[in-house]
Amino acid sequence: MKKIIKVLAISSLFFGCLNADPMDKKIGSMLMVGFYGTEVGKDSQICKDIRDYDLAGVILFDHNPTDKTKPKNISSVSQVAKLTKQLQDCSPNKNLLIAVDQEGGKVQRLKNAYGFLGNFPSASSVSVMNDAQISATYTKMAKELRSVGINYDLAPVVDLAVNPQNRVIFGLGRSYGKNPIDVSKKAKLFVDAMNKEGVLTSLKHFPGHGSSLGDTHKGYVDVTNTWSSVELNPYKELKNSADSVMVAHVFNSKIDEKYPASLSSKTVNGLLRNKMGYNGAVITDDLQMGAIQSKYSLKDTLKLAVKAGDDILLFGNQLDPNNTVKTKVLVDTIKVLIENNELLVNDINRAYARVKKLKERLNQ
């Protein structure tokens, strides 16, 4: 009897080793988080989180919402290069996604004031350049990102400039224009330049934020009456070139009468994957934005985002310093949802596989 028990124990241990990663790490591989600090020690919380949960990635910001006199993550060229190395050293497989929003124009985290090149033109300014000038501009941007260890740029914006009253896209010059063919061509030049230098990208903001009147950072935004299916064209055109797609928090009852895009299975699994044929990774816009937090609890946000088909759930810990979230809370909440049969293990496995595939592109 003792021999049988011993054999079973050894078999269990052996086959357990052959199984996929533990659930903690599979869930962790779906999370991208923001943190406070310009350097990272081995015993820091973010380093422990990266190591213990094998996080998908981290996102860096320059602006510190808790203390405007201090940087959050970015203060100088040498500091960022050192920080990214420290972060990567925490990663079990040294393939941590280290992300920033570096579009050019009003949205660029690596600013001239910190010693970076900075002053990259906005998409609206780029739209009048020829292809060679665009490629040269974005190659320079990509080289700088890579030189300081940033391997994931949450750009380009492929929203169409169809609404002059739109403050968050049109008003900030973040769109290449209203013609989807032109937008697709210029965005492709951005993606190609980044990829050539080893930087991954993300098309945003699916299924289209260019027609909106409101700002999802601040609250609920309904585009039902302003959105047009032409806003999907850049995603259709670039679906085989995109490293990832960022899904917005806009509500569009033409697609889903109940949930905003980022929490909508009809939008992500239905429209983007099944109907449009996109097979790559999907990352959410920051799930701490007002459009989400004002309407959904953390538990419901996580449940809906995973069920929607999102692969990387972004928590920037940036928008509300009084409402930051710990990685352990995110992981444990998703585990409870699985235990209660509110989420399927298969949903986690699918996301895990897509994130793993995304990270493999870092070595291509």
* Residues spanned by the domain of 273: 25-363
Cα-based torsion angle of the residue sequence 53, 59, 63, 64 in order, rounded to the nearest 10 degrees: 0
Within a domain: 19: no
Within a domain: 48: yes
pLDDT tens series, the chain, 364 aa: 444 444 344 333 433 333 444 899 999 999 999 999 999 999 999 999 999 999 999 999 999 988 889 999 999 999 999 999 999 999 999 999 999 999 999 999 999 999 999 999 999 999 999 999 999 999 999 999 999 999 999 999 999 999 888 888 999 999 999 999 999 999 999 999 999 999 999 999 999 988 877 666 656 788 999 999 999 999 999 999 999 999 999 999 999 999 999 999 999 999 999 999 999 999 999 999 988 988 999 999 999 999 999 999 999 999 777 778 999 999 999 999 999 999 999 999 999 999 999 999 998 7
What CATH number should be reported for the domain holding residue 149? 3.20.20.300
User: Which residues are CB-contacts of 27 (< 8 A; sequence separation ≥ 6)?
Assistant: 53, 330, 331, 334, 335, 348
Within a domain: 10: no
Give the sheet arrangement for strand 203-206, strand by strand: 203-206, 244-247, 281-284
Q: Distance (Å, rounded) from C-alpha 200 to C-alpha 333? A: 29
Within a domain: 269: yes
Within a domain: 241: yes
Neighbour-count burial of 220, counting CB atoms closer than 10 A to its CB (0-12 exposed, 13-18 middle, 19+ buried): middle
Token pair belonging to 297: 């609890």
Within a domain: 9: no
**H helix or E strand, kind and range, residue 134:** helix 131-147
Q: Distance (Å, rounded) from C-alpha 204 to C-alpha 283? A: 9
| Nearest one of 151, 167, 149, 147 to 159, comparing CA atoms | 167
Within a domain: 135: yes
Number of domains within the chain: 1
Q: Distance (Å, rounded) from C-alpha 301 to C-alpha 92? A: 28
Parallel/antiparallel/unpaired status of strands 107-108 and 203-206 = unpaired
Within a domain: 69: yes
